[in-house]
Structure 1
Amino acid sequence: MTKKGLFTLVCLSLFLLLEVESHAQKLAAHDTVAFSSNRNSVILPFHFIHNLIIIPVQINDSPPLNFILDTGVKNILITHLYYTDSLNLNNTTEIEIKGLGTGDTLKAFYSQGNSLKMKGIAGENQDVYVLKEDIFHLSSRMGMPVHGIIGYDIFKNFIVKINYSSKHLTLLRPDVKLKPPKRGEVYPLHLERDKAYIFAHVRQHNGDTIRVKLVVDTGASHSLSLYLPSNSQLALPPKVMEAYLGRGLSGDINGKIGRINSFSIGRHELQNLPASYPDEASIQAAMNISDRNGNLGSDILKRFTVIFDYPHSQMTLIPNKRYKEPFNYNLAGFEVGAPVIGMKFYEVAHVVDGSPAHAVGLMRGDQILSINGQSCFEMSLSDILGYLEKGPGKKLKLRLYRENEVKYVVLTLQNRI
């Protein structure tokens, strides 16, 4: 199996830090998204899988399509369409695009002058990119149809409140005046090249506290990514593991994962959290564009109700019930895929060398029938992934189906960093 087929929960969406490089990337000056009626707000429920927000969006006359909501992406990107999906894109030309990763450019279609619809809002003159090849396989990794990624078109036009606890997204008019939060804190949001940055502090294993500039990225499922070449004071923790961190538009993103002592922003301090350290070759595109030190992902953001206010260049964080939860990650050493969309059919997508899963002989392609006596036919993908993060020392009793045989294995979750 090539690395292109791998999937790592800790860093699903580094590839969403998308930097489109083409002659057609400039947005039209009059493109806009606004409420379709005279209202001040609209509330949208969302799916939350792999720490990622999924919302329904219509492009032109299409049925509702599922998009990952990502503050780190500028343009609407269609990653995969099914044979029943129809977009009727306007003014389409073929281009090449490039983003994070170590590979070559990709071919895509670029389309101007499209419409966008969501519950209560509508947009015109939207730029849309459509990949000719589904390189991300988001649907099988998310356990539901996922068609693409959307971000800046939503955030630039509204005040966006994300309630991770209730799984509701509230869009408010930019001129709505919000009451100061009782338990939250407001921070400056620095908008550069259509991306939002914040300044925070990380405390490393050696006690050094470093001020860092981070892209705020709801499309990254991990907690934190740090770019070592961006600051000579940044250093790897003493205990790290080699990791495949995700897939970029331009290829694989590899690196290391280790724990830092703390991450702090304002009065909020989160301790003992995993950070990923991508290889320099994988992040060269990002390094060439800005002086960022990394990105802030959803494993931190989900511990708050987050209010993004791009129009007024600020962000509010209000702690929720997850605030004090420990930072766990996949401790089993195997990844789960759902290759048959719409069915509760789960299989082992990858096994990490030297992991607990590798030690007990799990193999790619093993169908997972039950975990600790609970049938997988009764579980969602999120339920199954929850088992892999229970904490070090927890045992998983797996019933598997392999080559016409039912097999039983027991593995113990292990903290490798």
Structure 2
Amino acid sequence: MKRAVYLTLLGLCFLLIPLGTLAQLQPTTDSDTVYFTSNRKKINIPFKLVHNLVVIPVQINTSQPLNFILDSGVRNTLITRLYFSDSLDLKDASKITIKGLGEGHDIDAFFSTGNHMYMDGIKGDNHSVYVLMEDVFNLSTRMGMPVHGIIGYDIFKNFIVKINYSTKMLTLYRPDVKLRKKRKAEEYPLMIEGTKPYMVGTVKQHNGDTLDVKLIVDTGASHSLSLYLPTNEKLSLPPKVMEAYLGRGLSGDINGKIGRLSSFRLGKYKLENLTASYPDEEGIKLALNIADRNGNMGSDILKRFTVIFDYPHQRITLIPNHKFKEPFSYNMAGFEVSTPLPGTNFYVVSNVVDDSPANKVGVQAGDQLLHINGRDCTDLTLQELLEMLESKPGRKLRLRLKREQEILNVDFVLQSRI
């Protein structure tokens, strides 16, 4: 039986990549140095925003610029997929076995030290890299573009990092730069434990209970909140939830439930009727054993602000943007979309939820999407397509599909299940 798929929860697998766990299993180095290659005080790097995730160009050794997801929840650079034309020239590589979160098997990887990392105006020396032998995440097909890996702590620990989700601009400042405080900017403590950033927020559940929760601030998680029920007896499921496939950890699938919270507060900022995921305990048992936290806060919340991470001074600044009051949406069509040819606008249905609007009219996994509401899908970016599936209850969608050699036309109405 297939379960609900929550597209914006793709990033849960990034949160759950246990590179902190890898640090316990494998020797890592803190002697790497990442620095500006000039005397500039700041560097601006445009980024792409897909599934609420920040994608930036990074070069490893002699490689061409590769696409990396900027993830504040991971320690070391992780290569998840290389293409035929990609070459890294890795230094001092040794084969290791990794066990991560999720219900599945261990995977093989290479651990390499002594590498160089380059971004525009930035160089990293003695850089550590993990290279997965198996593309367990399928990031490229889910993101609609070639995605080669994930990078995090090496960037955040060395700079003040400003992410402007509205302008899609990443700004890196020298740690000694004093930023001028802007109107509406609110500064909060940021707890750096090990290599991970934490904040405390307050959730209000539908039973009226309010409680403080300690959360990883995770730019690599595309959802809003993920809460771990076993960490606090007062945490409870909302009255209306749906079974969901939440993503993949290094060791397999992570399942759970999705519902809505009455509200979530960060300091003076209050967000209402937001979606939240509740992973099954089996899929997150490793995380429960290695960290004192109640879950994580992802980019469906962060994208509503300009966010300034200041690891050197253990603080974070939030400046609300025009998306702050937008409702929290999710995929109400009941099917997941992937791109078998990353970088092209070629879309297929990769999963259909039982008893969903799409399922009821006969949409099947493997169907190619040709048109949606009269628009040729080859003219739509993946982000535009997903926004149509996540718009609002009651919206009618008209799909033209190709199944083998047959052309099908189906209509259905988006329905909220939570």
The question of a shared fold, defined as TM-score above 0.5 by the shorter chain, is answered with: yes
Residues of 2 paired with 1:25 and 1:175: CA distance?
32
- 8 A contact 1:37–1:120 mirrored in 2: yes
Which aligned pairs between 1:162-311 and structure 2 lie closer than 5 A?
162-311=163-312
Residues of 2 paired with 1:342 and 1:146: CA distance?
10
Q: Which amino acid is the alignment partner of residue 363 of structure 2?
A: L
Q: Which amino acid is the alignment partner of residue 19 of structure 1?
A: P
Q: Which stretch shifts more, 239-248 or 399-408?
A: 399-408
Which aligned pairs between 1:57-72 and structure 2 lie closer than 5 A?
57-72=58-73
What displacement does 1:24 show? 6.2
Residues of 1 paired with 2:100 and 2:186: CA distance?
33
Residues of 2 paired with 1:141 and 1:50: CA distance?
9
SS of equivalent to 1:369: strand
The alignment status of 1:410 with 2:411, answered yes or no, reads yes
The alignment status of 1:126 with 2:124, answered yes or no, reads no
Which residue of 2 is the match for residue 81 of structure 1?
82
- 8 A contact 1:75–1:151 mirrored in 2: yes
Which residue of 2 is the match for residue 14 of structure 1?
12
Which residue of 2 is the match for residue 110 of structure 1?
111
Residues of 2 paired with 1:235 and 1:24: CA distance?
33
Among the aligned pairs, what percent are the same residue? Answer: 61
Residues of 1 paired with 2:30 and 2:219: CA distance?
25
What displacement does 1:168 show? 0.4
SS of equivalent to 2:278: strand
Deviations 1:263-283 (A, max 9, x none): 001100000011000001111
Residues of 1 paired with 2:197 and 2:27: CA distance?
18
SS of equivalent to 1:136: coil
Residues of 2 paired with 1:124 and 1:266: CA distance?
38
What displacement does 1:403 show? 2.0
Q: Which amino acid is the alignment partner of residue 269 of structure 2?
A: H
TM-score with structure 2 length normalisation? 0.97
- 8 A contact 1:189–1:197 mirrored in 2: yes
Q: Which amino acid is the alignment partner of residue 9 of structure 1?
A: L
Residues of 2 paired with 1:169 and 1:25: CA distance?
31
Q: Which amino acid is the alignment partner of residue 211 of structure 1?
A: D
Residues of 1 paired with 2:123 and 2:90: CA distance?
16
SS of equivalent to 2:296: strand
Deviations 1:140-164 (A, max 9, x none): 1111100000000100000000000
What displacement does 1:376 show? 0.7
Which residue of 1 is the match for residue 56 of structure 2?
55
- 8 A contact 2:217–2:297 mirrored in 1: yes
SS of equivalent to 1:140: helix
Deviations 1:58-98 (A, max 9, x none): 00010000000000111100000001000000000000112
Deviations 1:316-358 (A, max 9, x none): 1100000000000001000111101232111111101111111
What displacement does 1:7 show? 6.1
Q: Where does structure 1 lack aligned partners over 5 or more consecutive residues?
A: none
Residues of 1 paired with 2:259 and 2:190: CA distance?
27
Which residue of 1 is the match for residue 157 of structure 2?
156
Residues of 1 paired with 2:2 and 2:112: CA distance?
32
Deviations 1:245-287 (A, max 9, x none): 0000011100000001000011000000110000011111111
Residues of 1 paired with 2:397 and 2:314: CA distance?
46
Residues of 1 paired with 2:111 and 2:154: CA distance?
16
Which residue of 1 is the match for residue 35 of structure 2?
34
Residues of 2 paired with 1:75 and 1:16: CA distance?
12
What displacement does 1:104 show? 2.7
Residues of 2 paired with 1:27 and 1:33: CA distance?
16
Deviations 1:7-35 (A, max 9, x none): 64131122213223457634323211110
The alignment status of 1:355 with 2:356, answered yes or no, reads yes
Give the total of aligned pairs.
415
Q: Which amino acid is the alignment partner of residue 198 of structure 1?
A: M
Residues of 1 paired with 2:344 and 2:29: CA distance?
41
Q: Which amino acid is the alignment partner of residue 61 of structure 2?
A: N
Residues of 2 paired with 1:301 and 1:120: CA distance?
26
- 8 A contact 1:24–1:110 mirrored in 2: no
TM-score with structure 1 length normalisation? 0.97
Residues of 1 paired with 2:325 and 2:115: CA distance?
43
What displacement does 1:377 show? 1.2
Q: Where does structure 2 lack aligned partners over 5 or more consecutive residues?
A: none
- 8 A contact 2:163–2:169 mirrored in 1: yes
SS of equivalent to 2:155: helix
- 8 A contact 1:7–1:349 mirrored in 2: no
SS of equivalent to 2:8: helix
What displacement does 1:406 show? 1.2
Residues of 2 paired with 1:399 and 1:51: CA distance?
27
- 8 A contact 2:6–2:330 mirrored in 1: no
Residues of 1 paired with 2:222 and 2:333: CA distance?
18
